[in-house]
Structure 1
Amino acid sequence: MVEIRHRYATVQGHRVFYREAGPREAPALALLHGFPTSSRMFRDLIPALADRFRVIAPDHLGFGNSDAPPADAFAYTFDALTDITEALLARLGVTRYAVYVQDYGAPIGWRLALRDPDAITAVITQSGNAYEDGFVPDFWKPLWAYAEDPGPETEPAVRTALSLDAIRWQYLHGVDRPELVDPDTWAADHREVNRPGNDLVQLALFRDYAGNRPLYPQVHAYFRERRVPLLAVWGEGDEIFGPDGARAFARDLPDAEIHVVRGGGHFLLESHLDTVAGYIRGFLTTTGAPA
């Protein structure tokens, strides 16, 4: 039985929760979660990898068990969330690591790579977008409108993303066997993002998300220049970040390993854990990363 250690660290004055497993001396793998969840999304993946890797999965500020300071007390941007993640890894003595990014984890992971390219030994992206190709237009149109002109005309449409129905949809849409997805996942996410004041935290991040798109050319240049080993694993039924977002990585990384999983959705680990874990273990073994 793999021991998963549930820990807290104070980072830049904030209490950050993280899950950790595996030998301290093993190659490090950082797991960065997406919206609207937490490191809980990796609860079953961690034991599948911890025999070979030191796995670290933090909760971003405003999510899960990490602090959620009010939006008027902390500037919620993806730069700020990257600052916290970078400082946490440094505190834990992690200087070289592979990174798994999903959804919101991707813009944090890309910033980590741009800040310190030598630190990243490999990238695993599971619906972690880096290309315009990945945006499903109908899903993203309300967020782009809100980010461009926040106000009473555009805010209601993005607030629906905090509803139980919308979060359930994220988990179940495109999944061929929805009975495999634990309802506790969307219930817990809904409860956490709707804590008093957390709606303003999420709205701040919605507004800031559009700022990730101008960063993409730098990310593409990083891929071309550094040739970082990359594995993209995507659910075929993901209609938030569509499978074309996975295929796009091959433009800048011709050797990227890309898998589009039939019957999978946005939260692929919920329905296809063994498939994803198998791809990850094979990829990291073949590439020799992390090292």
Structure 2
Amino acid sequence: MMDSTSCTMPDQITLNPVHYRFEQVDNVEVFYREAGDPDAPVVLLLHGFAASSFMFRDLIPMLAERYRVIAPDLPAFGFTHSPSRSDYTYTFERLTRTIERFTEQLRLSEYALVVHDYGAPVGWRLALNHPERITALVSQNGNAYEEGLGDSWQPIQRYWKNPTPENREALRDFPTPESIKWQYLEGVSTPEAVSPDSYTLEGLQIQRPGNAEIQLDLVLDYANNVALYPEFQAYFRRHQPPLLAVWGEHDPFFIPPGAQAWTRDLPNADIRFFDTGHFALETHGAEIIPTIRTFLDTHIG
């Protein structure tokens, strides 16, 4: 029998359990992850393509030590139960309306935003609509400047300019498991550092009936995000929110000049680059998560 005095246990183990919930928002059943003290300052995490709130699985419990952390799956992503294309218009404006209503139903009067990829234009719209609700901004490869668009956007930009069935068909391999895996590994110097859980999960999600067509709708509508870049930038200049950019510098979609451009509008922006690709948290979470935590502690903690 082991002597009870022969081993020592820490005086206290801090656990930050994550809860998995749904919130009905009109005809969308939004899945979200939540952790932390309900009375603490709120941090809202918005994922991008091809991802879901699962991408924040390591960030959430670390932030939950001091914050109420909420990470929804956008409509057509993750475990959110989304309507068909005939019952829901898949545009970024519509995604924003759903997420804005979601925040209001959860009574989130103010929050910091942590955004990635598609989550960025949703987050920037939330900030435009209600600047008084935004306490700080963190962008992990979430763009707001045209110079941040890499060469990988060229086939998509052709579709924007001429949305023919032929140009849509040319993008047919974009919403596929193979393309998603490429997005996770491109620009990563050590691919074995990327867990297959993420791209395998998202690859399965993209194969749900009708989802590929929804993703092509969103690809086409992304042009409206670019058209709003001047308004997003005007928001930055006018309100001067604290901003941290943590950027995978080898991202084929959102390249470093997009992060550097923030200093034109936000002279105090904190811009950090990491030797990785589009999904920087997958490989550099050990560096990025404490950076985000310190930034939030400084500005809203």
Give the alignment's TM-score, normalised by structure 2.
0.93
* Alignment of 1:284 onto 2:286: no
1:67 CA drift (Å): 1.4
Q: 2:146 aligns with which of 107, 132, 154?
A: 132
* Alignment of 1:96 onto 2:99: no
Q: 2:61 aligns with which of 44, 47, 65?
A: 47
* Alignment of 1:188 onto 2:223: no
Q: How many angstroms apart in 1 are the aligned matches of 2:20 and 2:179?
A: 29
Q: How many angstroms apart in 1 are the aligned matches of 2:34 and 2:85?
A: 28
2:33–2:70 CA contact under 8 A, matched in 1: yes
1:77 CA drift (Å): 0.6
1:99 CA drift (Å): 0.2
Q: 2:273 aligns with which of 237, 260, 265?
A: 260
1:9 CA drift (Å): 0.6
Give the alignment's TM-score, normalised by structure 1.
0.96
1:71–1:204 CA contact under 8 A, matched in 2: no
Partner of 1:207, secondary structure, is: helix
Paired residues, number: 287
Q: How many angstroms apart in 2 are the aligned matches of 1:129 and 1:174?
A: 18
Q: What per-residue deviation string (whole Å, max 9, x for no partner) do you get for residues 29-81 of structure 1? A: 00000012111111111011110110000001111110121112210110110
- What residue number does 1:240 align with? 253
- What residue number does 1:199 align with? 212
User: Which amino acid is 2:18 matched to?
Assistant: I
Partner of 1:83, secondary structure, is: helix
User: Which amino acid is 2:66 matched to?
Assistant: R
Q: How many angstroms apart in 2 are the aligned matches of 1:208 and 1:201?
A: 11
Q: How many angstroms apart in 2 are the aligned matches of 1:152 and 1:285?
A: 49
Partner of 1:245, secondary structure, is: helix
- What residue number does 2:167 align with? 154
State the superposition RMSD in angstroms. 1.1
Q: How many angstroms apart in 2 are the aligned matches of 1:201 and 1:153?
A: 17
1:235 CA drift (Å): 0.7
* Alignment of 1:32 onto 2:46: yes
Q: 2:236 aligns with which of 223, 227, 232?
A: 223
Partner of 1:155, secondary structure, is: helix
Structure 1 segments of 4+ aligned residues over 6 angstroms from their partners: none
Q: How many angstroms apart in 1 are the aligned matches of 2:229 and 2:296?
A: 25
Partner of 1:231, secondary structure, is: strand
1:160 CA drift (Å): 1.1
Q: What per-residue deviation string (whole Å, max 9, x for no partner) do you get for residues 179-199 of structure 1? A: 111112111111111211111
Q: How many angstroms apart in 1 are the aligned matches of 2:242 and 2:86?
A: 39
1:148 CA drift (Å): 2.6
Q: How many angstroms apart in 2 are the aligned matches of 1:249 and 1:67?
A: 35
Partner of 1:122, secondary structure, is: strand
Residue segments in structure 2 that go unaligned for 5+ positions in a row: 1-14
Q: How many angstroms apart in 2 are the aligned matches of 1:184 and 1:286?
A: 33
Q: How many angstroms apart in 2 are the aligned matches of 1:159 and 1:71?
A: 17
- What residue number does 1:271 align with? 283
2:176–2:206 CA contact under 8 A, matched in 1: no
1:158 CA drift (Å): 1.6
Q: How many angstroms apart in 2 are the aligned matches of 1:220 and 1:33?
A: 21
Tell me which structure has the larger Cα radius of gyration: 2
Residue segments in structure 1 that go unaligned for 5+ positions in a row: none
1:174–1:238 CA contact under 8 A, matched in 2: yes
Partner of 1:34, secondary structure, is: coil
User: Which amino acid is 1:132 matched to?
Assistant: E
Q: How many angstroms apart in 1 are the aligned matches of 2:172 and 2:114?
A: 28
User: Which amino acid is 1:129 matched to?
Assistant: N
Partner of 2:174, secondary structure, is: helix
User: Which amino acid is 2:291 matched to?
Assistant: Y
- What residue number does 1:18 align with? 32
Q: What per-residue deviation string (whole Å, max 9, x for no partner) do you get for residues 81-134 of structure 1? A: 001111111111111000011000000000000000010000000000000111
Partner of 2:104, secondary structure, is: helix
Q: How many angstroms apart in 1 are the aligned matches of 2:288 and 2:65?
A: 16
2:138–2:245 CA contact under 8 A, matched in 1: yes
Q: How many angstroms apart in 2 are the aligned matches of 1:87 and 1:152?
A: 34
1:163 CA drift (Å): 2.0
